[in-house]
Structure 1
Amino acid sequence: MISNRSFYTVIGLCIVTYLVGMVMIPLMDIDASQYASISREMMENRSYLQVFDLGMDYIDKPPMLFWLSSLSMRVFGVHDWAYRIPSFLFALLAVYATYRLALLFYRREIAQLSAMVLASCQALFLITHDVRCDTMLLGWVALSLWQMAAWYQTNKWKHFCIAFIAIACGMMTKGPIALMVPAFAFVPHFVLRREWKQLFRWEYIAGLAIIAVMLLPMSIGLYQQFDLHPGKIASGVKIDSGLRFYYWTQSFGRYTGENTYNELNYFTFLLENMLWSFLPWIVFFLLGLVFAVRELVLKKFKLNAGEEWFSAGGFIITYCILARSQAQLPHYIFVVFPLAAIITAKFLFRLFFTGELAAWKKPLSVFHTVVFALLWLVCIFLMAWPFKVPVFVPVLAALCLVAFFVILFSKNIVLPKILPLAFFTVIGVNVFLGTGFYPNVLKYQLGNDAAAFMKQRSIEKERVKIYGIYEGRALHFYAQHIFPKVYSREELGPADMVITLKDSLPSLRTSFPTLKVLHEGGNFGVTSLSLPFLDPAKRDAEVPKYVLLEL
């Protein structure tokens, strides 16, 4: 079926691709660079219970990511890859926990497929370099699901304790969603199996006590920073109680209207973004989910002992809850990708390793072969056209397309053809993106470009101020310095250096006629790529410019 050699090769290649992105791709503004900057500031100030962003109170996210990333940077130094190490390890934990969770209910091949699907979906390649709280949350939630399922099967207290510790740590990573997902997964599972007693076990009280104890350090920090000083402004919001904001407003306030942030709040938003984030498995997943629901209906909504519904039920309920939020972002749904991977693996096993779905095999194989070939053509285009890269890079990408067709027509492939084609495509394309595309795009980001110039020229960072420009957080992280902002020319003096928009030069020259332009660079929001930006002939007009001035 699936040899250990094939399994470990795929997982190993995915890990190598994660590492390529971690080392080669600079941090992107806004979120990843902000969290890295906060982590560096926490490490430098040794303020672990109270969180600050450029010296200002911060409350938007719980502190677990900052705690672990600051610890990593204390050990390895202030580097973007050091910031990413803890989240990378939690991504690996998510893959392993998904394998072990699937193995509790299914044969080894389905467990292997579950791990390979999760490890090779586009989201994992993205969030191991564009690190946000969701990478770490993914690991905690997958661990809690695995350990809860193991506890239900064995009644061993070690599984119970690990599960609730993982839930608490997930809550300290991104809030109550870490508690909600296991509930959304196992409640319908037990209802459909008519195991009512599992819903009312006294041990849950002990589990809640574990969570309460684990949350104490964070809760104390919130109380000290905000509840003792009501009325503070954090991220533009007045905070009267840090505890209420964290435990209620930030999560449930998205449904009650107390959280005023409102963006991208239509029901299909998350599903539309899964079309890219769960590549190359999204079609298999959607069909697997439809088949799972259909079979449940045929069974009259009753499962036998040994059957599970936590994967499909957990995904569906979590999706519906998240999709009702008044504020959504594409990565919010990543938390249930372990469940999506199990649903997908079950469908792939039935499609390729049994004769149950024979009629679906050829059309799905043909469709995905065309899609994967198109992805390779897009990759070749991205290597050859937008940026100046060594000529061997697009040639190598073209050779990979040739290798794709060699695999397609080979008689010696042990696995069903579409699986090695999928792994080869998603891994190969991400290697090229991580080495030849993203690093070139990020040359047009102000923060890392300006920090690199200041380091190269040994600029006195204490002289540098920010004026009339949004600089992002990458600048403060890579320069390892918090640059003050000024809001009028009267706050500047002839001894200062200034980072500002190039358009501000004429007005500044009226006050400082002898100013000198030390450096000019791009100030492009790299997470909002556009075709004009990719076009070398139009890029210069598309990219706003910043300058570093000596007044």
Structure 2
Amino acid sequence: MQHIINFVTDRVGSLRRDLAVLTVIFGTAFFQFLGKFPLMEPDEGRYSEIPREMLERGDFVTPMLNYVKYFEKPPLHYWLNALSMKLFGENEFATRFPGALCGLLTVLFTYYAARKLFGRREGVMAALILGSATGFLVQGRINLTDMTLTFCMTATIGCFLLATRPEEPCKGRFYYLFYFFSALAFLAKGLIGFVLPGGIIFLYLLFSKRWVLLKEMRLFTGMILLLLVAVPWPLLASLRNPEFFNFFFIHEHFTRFLTKVHGRYQPLWFFVPILLLTMLPWSFFVPHALVRTWRERKNQGGDQVLYIIIWALFIFLFFSKSNSKLIPYILPVFPPLAMLVGLLFSKVFDGEALPRKTGILLAAVLCIVGCGAIAYPFVDTRPYASVAGGAALGIAFIGEGLLAFVFARRGDSQRFFITLTVGGLLLSLVAPHAVFPAMSLKKASSRELCRMVRTVAGPDTAVVSVGYEQGFPFYAGRRVIIAGGMGELEFGAKIGDQSAWFMEHEKLPELWESGRHIVALIKPNDLEWLQTKIKTPVRVLGKDSRKLLVTNR
């Protein structure tokens, strides 16, 4: 225990050693058993199939999903996934590797930035807080575009802050990195790669009155670098696809933000409980950290703290105002909040009082959550965790809560901090084994059934997905016919003649009786309906807990 405490509390230590230790700790947490479970529907199937098709077609400009144009996201995450597949093969590990790597790099950059700004101890604590926030680790292990954005956004906003330090000897380098990563953030998620850093920097200059920074920002050469990185892809995409500009820039940015067209509307306060849950156990200390650092914004070095506060609040409020909300959108808020909470605990280590009431409340909540995790498999008829998995999670939560309670009552801030860090990491190690097997029964792609298509279907076989399962083309390695709704493929399905690949659910019996060899992935209730409409018997090739693979021969 003392070695751990020394690692956290020491003011002096090697940068390389710290990076190595943090890489081992969080590399294990992010990458352990990364390829063990099937792709989760719908996001992982989508973000695995698009880069697979890029590799197959040799076209890295026009993203396509099930072989129709798909312009909802920029291509950086697809490019990273395609590169990963080229290195590791077309498998789950390869598709999740880039997101996990971006999660790890975000932790390491947060350490580096906090160390340069405040000191070695604050850097280590910020990294440990960010990396042990269970929601951050869990989402980093899922194939999503949001963790790629989070790393690019953290590097963008962090590099600008590092460049503004009066004593910084590498100002030019950090300013150019700021422009470079801003361009990458655009390629990761669109215009917010410019909007969020721009808004944060404007508010910082406004409140700090450091307008002089505009003269040292390398605006001319920096903008050239930004444009050289950001512009080629949308320019090429527009030249090759006349419909790209309106859909990508207007529909997917302004319409998504200002309207409820995407069906993802949530109330203004939606991200408050989301942040509370996903940043456990550290979220309980965010209000203390914000209040404390706001009071010290006029002290020496206060401009840096003011910048971090604006960084966190602007992104949080921006996504809260949006009419399109999903849980991962909140990820870019984690790094600045981790820095602020790290500053709070560093001061506590120096003698300030530990917020005992908050610590005791947190301990109670952890124990209650633990009891709920144990009871959950018995309450839900189709739980996302097995009985053993719920018990494992529950014991981890309760153990963390009891130790946190003891150390909070004693005012032992060092052991309290270590308990929360180790507890968060332990939960990240337990959660995949506790939750994913049961979740696979409800949310995962029908991996083994889809893979069977490679052996049972010939080149002329009509492979049908009754209701679109996005992992189906990835595992089958080919295009599939969609029967029963286009979903988010509607835009691409209307470009060119796609009539052979999309059909109404009611047309399935006609295709089945056409004499063509059919292989279909279908739900049991849809199969019962189909059997009442056809004469050609159904042969079941395989089944899992949710679906069946059937053929008419």
TM score, norm. by length of structure 2: 0.81
Between stretches 56-65 and 100-109, larger displacement belongs to: 100-109
Q: Which residue of 2 aligns with 1:3?
A: 6
Conservation of the 8 A alpha-carbon contact between 1:21 and 1:129: no
Aligned to 1:29: 41
Counterpart in the other structure of 1:251: 253
Does residue 490 (structure 1) correspond to residue 479 (structure 2)? The answer is no
Change (3 A) 1:391 1:256: closer
Q: Is the 8 A contact 1:24 1:434 kept in 2?
A: no
Instruction: Kindly state the Cα deviation for residue 522 of structure 1 after the two structures are TM-superposed.
Output: 3.5
Query: In 2, distance between residues paired with 1:318 and 1:43?
Result: 34
Q: CA deviation at 1:84?
A: 1.5
Q: Secondary structure of 1:451's partner?
A: helix
Q: CA deviation at 1:85?
A: 1.5
Gap change, CA 1:249 and 1:394, over 3 Å in 2 = closer
Q: Give how far 1:88 is off.
A: 1.7
Q: Does 1:171 align with 2:174?
A: no
- Residue 39 of structure 1 contacts residue 69 of structure 1 at CA under 8 Å; is this kept in 2? yes
Q: Summarize the Cα distance change of 1:417–1:378 in structure 2 as closer, same or farther, 3 Å threshold.
A: farther
Residues of 1 paired with 2:216 and 2:549: CA distance? 63
In structure 2, the CA distance between the partners of 1:439 and 1:10, relative to structure 1 (3 Å rule), is: farther
Q: 1:461 to 1:198 in 2, by over 3 A?
A: farther
Aligned AA for 1:132? L
Matched residue pairs, number? 507
Q: Secondary structure at the match of 2:161?
A: helix
Instruction: State the distance in 1 between where 2:301 and 2:392 align.
Output: 55
The alpha-carbon deviation at position 193 of structure 1 amounts to: 2.9
Q: In structure 2, what is the equivalent of residue 542 of structure 1?
A: none
Displacement of 1:271: 1.9
Is 2:307 the partner of 1:310? yes
| 1:134-173 equivalences in 2 (<5 Å) | 134-153=146-165, 154=168, 156-173=171-188
1:507-538 Cα offsets, whole Å, 9 max, x none, are 43342343222333344xxxxxxxxxxxxxxx
Does the 8 A contact of 2:366 with 2:400 survive in 1?
no
SS in 2 for 1:26: coil
- Distance in 1, matches of 2:396 and 2:277, equals 24
Question: Which residue is equivalent to 1:66?
Answer: 78
Match of 1:517 among 532, 540, 545: 540
Please report how far the alpha carbon of residue 65 of structure 1 lies from its aligned counterpart in structure 2 after TM superposition: 0.5
Pick which of 391-400 and 303-312 moved more.
Answer: 391-400
For 2:522, what is the secondary structure of its paired residue? strand
The alpha-carbon deviation at position 56 of structure 1 amounts to: 0.4
Query: Does the CA-based 8 Å contact 2:117-2:162 persist in structure 1?
Result: no
Q: CA deviation at 1:176?
A: 1.9
Shift of 1:547: 5.0
In structure 1, what residue type is equivalent to 2:254?
Answer: F
1:458-481, CA deviations, whole angstroms, 9 ceiling, x for partnerless residues?
4336535225x3232122222323
How far residue 417 of structure 1 moved from its aligned partner, in angstroms, is 2.9
Give 1:34 shift.
Answer: 0.5
Tell me how far apart the structure 2 counterparts of residues 367 and 254 of structure 1 sit (CA, whole Å): 38
1:502 to 497, 516, 524: 524
The answer (yes or no) to whether the contact 1:376–1:429 under 8 Å persists in 2 is no
CA separation in 2, counterparts of 1:173 and 1:503? 39
Gaps of 5+ in 2: 10-17, 484-502
Matches of 2:464 and 2:80 in 1, distance apart? 30
CA distance in structure 1 between the aligned counterparts of 2:69 and 2:179, rounded to whole angstroms:
30
The reply on whether 1:361 has 2:361 as its aligned counterpart is no
- 1:124 equivalent in alignment to 2:136: yes
| CA shift in 2, pair 1:435/1:410, >3 Å | same
Q: Distance in 1 between matches of 2:540 and 2:293?
A: 63
C-alpha displacement of 1:260: 3.5
The alignment partner of 2:478 has SS state of coil
Residues 156 and 181 in structure 2, CA contact (< 8 A), matched pair in contact too: yes
Residues 392 and 205 of structure 1, relative CA distance in 2, 3 Å threshold? closer
Question: Which stretches in structure 1 are left out of the alignment for 5+ residues?
Answer: 228-238, 524-544
What is the RMSD computed on CA atoms of the aligned residues? 3.4
> What residue number does 1:224 align with?
239
Instruction: Determine the C-alpha separation between the residues in 1 that align with 2:389 and 2:61.
Output: 50
Does the CA-based 8 Å contact 2:257-2:324 persist in structure 1?
Answer: no
Task: Provide the rounded CA distance (Å) in 2 between the counterparts of 1:387 and 1:58.
Answer: 31
8 Å contact 1:188–1:309 — kept in the other structure? no
**Equivalent position of 1:535 in the other structure:** none
1:474 aligns to what? 471
Going from structure 1 to structure 2, the CA distance change for 1:453 and 1:150 (only over 3 Å counts) comes to: closer
Q: Which residue of 1 aligns with 2:431?
A: 433
The alpha carbon displacement at 1:113 in A equals 1.2
Measured in 1, the distance between the counterparts of 2:195 and 2:397 equals 43
Separation in 2 of the partners of 1:268 and 1:392? 31
Alignment partners' CA distance in 2, 1:362 and 1:384: 34
Taking the TM superposition and a 5 Å limit, the aligned residue runs for 1:62-101 are 62-101=74-113
Picking from 313, 328, 331, the partner of 2:328 is 331
Shift of 1:31: 1.6
> How far did 1:441 drift?
1.9
> Is contact 2:363–2:400 with CA below 8 Å preserved after alignment?
no
Code of the residue aligned with 2:106 in structure 1: it is: A
Cα 1:11/1:321, change in 2 over 3 Å: same
Q: Does the Cα contact within 8 Å between 1:518 and 1:550 map onto a contact in 2?
A: no
Deviations 1:161-188 (A, max 9, x none): 2221111111101012122333333333
**9-18 vs 118-127, greater mean Cα deviation:** 9-18
Deviates more, 1:83-92 or 1:62-71: 83-92
- Look up the SS of the partner of 2:105 in the other structure: helix
Letter in 2 for 1:290: V
Asked whether the equivalents of residues 288 and 346 of structure 1 are also in contact (C-alpha less than 8 Å), the reply is yes
Partners of 1:215 and 1:383 in 2: CA distance: 48
Partner amino acid for 1:28?
M
Question: What amino acid maps onto 1:520 in structure 2?
Answer: K
Q: 1:76 deviation in Å?
A: 1.0
- 2:491 maps to which residue? none
Deviation at 1:248, TM superposition (A): 4.8
Q: Report deviation, 1:215.
A: 1.8
Provide the rounded CA distance (Å) in 2 between the counterparts of 1:387 and 1:340.
Answer: 29
The alpha-carbon distance between structure 1 residues 399 and 187, as it changes in their structure 2 partners (threshold 3 A), is: closer
Contact kept? 2:182, 2:226, Cα under 8 Å? yes
Matched residues in 2 for 1:214 and 1:502: separation?
49
- Tell me the equivalent position of 1:284: 285
Letter in 2 for 1:490: E
Contact residue 502 and residue 547 of structure 1 kept, 8 A: no
Distance (Å, rounded) in 1 between the aligned partners of 2:415 and 2:301: 34
